[in-house]
Structure 1
Amino acid sequence: MIDKKEDKYLLRNKNFILLLISQNLSAFGDWFRTIAAIGLIYKVTGSAANLSLLFISSMLPMILVSTLCSPLIDKYSRKTIMMISDFCRLIIGLSFVFIVVNDLNINYMYLLLAINGVCTGFYFPARSTIIPELVNINHLTRANSILATSFSTSMLIATGLGGVIGEVLAVEYIFLLDAITFLLSGILIVFIKTVKKSSSNQNQPSQSYFQSITEGFKIIRSKPIIQSSIWILTSREFAISIVNIIFSLYILSVVQAGNLGLGLAYLASGLGQIIGGITLAKYFKNKQLSIKFYKTWSSISLILLGILHSLSYQQPYFIVFLILVVIANIWYSPIEVLYTTSIMTNVSEELRGRVFASAISLSRTAHILGFILVGIIGDILPVSTIAMGIGIFLITAGILNRVLLLRQKEHITQTSSLNS
């Protein structure tokens, strides 16, 4: 059983609970908006390229912000950055409503998605970096597992309801709900209290802004386990970007299940990630983050993810597809928890924000490349063929991950016991 003392510590940690609820509120609204936007744009355009443009509009600004503005995340209050990001996304959500109500050109939606991407580019590195300021380092893995599992739960509920509500309510009401969730999320963040940042870097010589940006990449180059952490994240994100498009194409075009089918499929995805998070927490209990343990599970997760994604889109029956989607998504959670815990335990606090920002920037770049690729081939190749390509890529990535870690000497990272 999961260590009850760990859960009691986290459940009594007011700041962690505020972050948990805040994250899930905004995630809930985001998934409502995602289903609404996919359905609306596909209805208007009927094109895989336009679905790719939807995701690119969100991701490209996020990459630029994560890369160029990462020193700001280490310099300024992560809490303040998160609050500003949420309140800006509130305004963006209301702007979505304005566009739909006034029947404006759909291209304005791409512009809003780009601005939203800027805010998200600040929010996610700040959120990842603030966790060690709220939780004792010995509880990081359990905290990350809870955050990942609860995020999947939010997706499970939001997508299930979103598919049904999308068939009943007008799309502007879904966008309004998205805006309200960011308002509530921002208010909750106001009440979070963080531990003051370490002053260990105060006596370090001053750096130019460009030097501060490159500092995160220097840390990545110096540690193979950090390189591996970013590699497994980047490989997963590249695959996800393609899956996001063929996922919608399969449901809306191949089996023609409509928005309800889209909601059920996202429901299956969330269910799989919840199962993965719970299973991960039980198995990882009292395990230590040795290189052998990390190498085994990070590589296995990528390989199985590739095999299962490939098989999912070969199915002519929607119910079989849903079952395989559940099983495939079980393997997302280990990648997320291993990636975040590895960086939190192997990078110093004063540089952690830059490393997380660099990791997010690289993974989102992979996301963009995936969207560009599927935008080109999505209207040419059948979904089943594209899925086979994803499977081959992820299996290869899992093998290369093991090769990358051959350069890392076996050791136990400092205070990195996976007490879950």
Structure 2
Amino acid sequence: MNTNLQDEHNASWKKKIVLFLISQNISLFGSSVVSFAIIWHITLETSSGIWVMFFTICALLPQVFISLWAGVWADRYNRKHLIMLADGFIALATLGLAIAYWTGYQRMELILLVSVIRSIGAGIQMPAVIALYPQIVPTEKLTKVQGINQSLNSVLMLLSPAVGGVVLGSVGITGAFMVDVITASLAIVVLSFIRVEKAARSTEPASVFTELRQGIAYTFNNRLLRGILICFGASFILITPAAVLTPLLVERSFGNDVWLLTANEVVWTIGTLIGGVFVYMKGNFQDKIRTVAICLMAFGVTFGLLGIAGNFTIYLIIMGVAGFFMPIVATAQTVLIQENVEEAMMGRVFSLVQIVTGSAMPFAILFFGPLADIVPIGSILVVSGALLVVVGALYQITSKRAGLN
């Protein structure tokens, strides 16, 4: 009897996570395809770096600003319903944009406005998505599930640029908008088949601002969470040169052929795909802090080597190796938080993580971007890589001194 109950329990959570992963990756794929199509449309129509900058800001910053409130909502309401509402919100906004373009009202300002709305929807959705995993997945299976998700994300990110280009070239930007509408609708339908209860609350309901303060206090009074946020902030700032400036490094060092820039992105994505498979095969990391520290130091070494690579083939090999560590550090850090945070506080904690990770790169590029026109990018990568090694080592040392593992 006990064996039968266990089998039913295993089948139940596995069915839920399969449907959840399908739902979220359908949604991610549609959003990625449309994002690529929009940025290429803006580039082709305006040939303006200013317009590309406006789109990037409109696509990224609103989700950072909404994140704090989104975390409160993810802890207050049913996370499944919140995810579905956010997807529906994004789909309706994109459908409105498609209708406007169909009727002849085709303005760049409208794309920027809808990008802001889509970004707000994504900001509401993200903390709820990450916080939902521990509700439907046994704790000991979180790492394996995250490995599968990272692999799926990598495959989709490999396909998204190509699909975005094909869609834009064959049915135009209006057809591209409809891709997101269709995939968001499918994601909502798939997610509707999952039964998820509202997260249990540890305190009485209060105002949004009171719960917001509770979430901030909970996070910064916890040594582990405080260290993770500091680590996230410092590492994302130092990862920015490799994430943003390497296409410029390739153009300056190896040539401006499109295939060189494409290879730069594809090899990184292949590396992340292999890393995701490794996480799945590994199943779990016993010492997640040590795992994160090693990966950050590996990032530092590989980014430094990118800065001094004189041969493009060697450069690509190093880029692929660097990509391998991304799913490992992302999974280990995410699962570490999921294992050590109360279910009722999960949304607010992950909203703070989203704020740190979402704002670090935009602010960092304000420094590294102009610097790249004064100092060789290779030198920037060497210095930022060396500092990443230091961050990894300090994260390990300080966490162990605090008795964390």
Same fold (TM over 0.5): yes
Q: Using the TM superposition, name which of 29-38 and 323-332 deviates more.
A: 29-38
User: Any conservation in 1 of the 2:288–2:333 contact (CA below 8 Å)?
Assistant: no
Letter in 2 for 1:246: L
RMSD over aligned Cα atoms? 3.3
Q: 1:230 to 1:410 in 2, by over 3 A?
A: closer
* Structure 1 partner of 2:222: 223
| Residue 34 of structure 2 is aligned to residue 29 of structure 1 | no
SS in 1 for 2:140: helix
* Structure with the largest fraction of helix: 2
| SS, match of residue 197 in structure 1 | coil
Tell me which residue corresponds to 1:157.
159
Q: Answer yes or no: is 1:72 the counterpart of 2:73.
A: yes
Equivalent-residue separation in structure 1 for 2:58 and 2:100 (angstroms): 17
1:417 aligns to what?
Answer: none
8 Å Cα contact 2:79-2:198 kept in structure 1: no
Matching residue within 284, 287, 298 for 1:304: 298
The offset of 1:113, in angstroms, is: 2.1
Distance 1:32 1:383, change over 3 A: farther
Deviation larger for 182-191 or 247-256? 247-256
Q: 1:115 aligns with which of 110, 114, 117?
A: 117
* CA separation of 1:314 and 1:41: change in aligned 2, threshold 3 A: farther
Name the CA distance, whole Å, in 1 between partners of 2:397 and 2:13.
Answer: 42
C-alpha offsets along residues 277-312 of structure 1, whole Å, 9 cap, x if unaligned? 222333454x53xxxx22321111112112223433
Gaps of 5+ in 1: 412-420
**Greater mean deviation of Cα atoms: 90-99 or 154-163:** 90-99
Q: Distance in 2 between matches of 1:257 and 1:128?
A: 39
Counterparts of 1:190 and 1:278 in 2: how far apart (Å)? 28
Question: Which shifted more, 139-148 or 338-347?
Answer: 139-148
Mapped to 1, the partners of 2:314 and 2:358 lie a distance apart of: 31
Higher relative contact order (CA closer than 8 Å, sequence separation 6+): 1
2 CA distance for matches of 1:242 and 1:105? 33
Does the 8 Å contact 1:230/1:339 carry over to 2?
no
- Equivalent residue number for residue 372 of structure 1: 366
Query: What is the DSSP-based 3-state SS (H/G/I as helix, E as strand, rest coil) of the residue aligned with 2:199?
Result: coil
Shift of 1:339: 1.5
Once the two structures are superposed, what CA deviation does each residue of 1:29-85 show, in whole Å capped at 9, x if it has no partner? 2332343344344453453x6545433322221111112342111111111111111
1:134 CA displacement: 1.4
* Deviation by residue 1:78-127 (Cα, 9 ceiling, x = unmatched): 11111111112223334555677758443443332222111111101000
Aligned pairs for 1:48-87 within 5 A: 51-87=52-88
Given the alignment of the two structures, is residue 136 of structure 1 paired with residue 138 of structure 2, yes or no?
A: yes
CA contact 1:79–1:189 (8 Å) conserved in 2 = yes
Contact 1:94/1:175 (8 A) holds in 2: yes
Deviates most, 360-369 or 325-334: 360-369
Tell me if 1:347 matches 2:341.
yes
Give, in whole Å, the separation in 2 of the partners of 1:263 and 1:398: 30
- 1:140 Cα offset (Å): 1.7
Which residue of 312, 326, 330 corresponds with 1:336?
330
Matches within 5 A, 1:19-418: 19-43=20-44, 44-45=46-47, 47=49, 51-94=52-95, 97=98, 102=104, 104-162=106-164, 170-199=172-201, 201=202, 204-205=203-204, 207-239=206-238, 241-250=240-249, 255-258=255-258, 262-285=261-284, 287-288=285-286, 293-312=287-306, 314-315=308-309, 318-377=312-371, 381-410=375-404
Letter in 2 for 1:35: F
348-357 or 315-324, larger mean C-alpha shift: 315-324
Closer, same or farther: CA 190–273 of 1 in aligned 2, 3 Å: same
Residues 106 and 378 of structure 1, relative CA distance in 2, 3 Å threshold: farther
Task: Measure the CA separation in 2 of the matches of 1:172 and 1:244.
Answer: 30
User: CA 1:79–1:212 in 2, change beyond 3 Å: closer, same or farther?
Assistant: same
TM-score (norm 1): 0.81
1:198 partner SS: coil
Cα drift, residue 164 of structure 1: 6.4
TM-score for the superposition, normalised by structure 2? 0.84
Contact map agreement 2:60 2:358 (CA 8 A) in 1: yes
d(CA) in 2 for partners of 1:164 and 1:318? Answer: 28
SS in structure 2 of the partner of residue 13 of structure 1: helix
Counterpart secondary structure, 2:245: helix
Residue 176 of structure 1, CA deviation: 3.2
Change beyond 3 A, Cα 1:105–1:62: same
Q: Report the 3-state secondary structure (helix = DSSP H, G, I; strand = E; otherwise coil) of the residue aligned with 1:337.
A: helix
The 10-residue stretch of structure 1 (149-158 or 49-58) with the greater mean CA deviation from structure 2? 49-58
Q: Distance in 2 between matches of 1:247 and 1:31?
A: 21
Shifted more, 32-41 versus 144-153: the winner is 32-41
* Equivalence for 2:3: none
Cross-structure match for 1:414: none
- CA separation in 1, counterparts of 2:376 and 2:334? 35
Measured in 1, the distance between the counterparts of 2:97 and 2:379 equals 35
The alignment-based identity, stated in percent, is 22
Which one-letter code corresponds to 2:336 in the other structure?
S
Distance verdict in 2 for CA 1:387–1:114, change over 3 Å: farther
Any idea what the Cα deviations from partners look like across 1:389-408, whole Å, max 9, x if unmatched? 44234223213312431442
Deviation of the 1:177 alpha carbon: 2.2
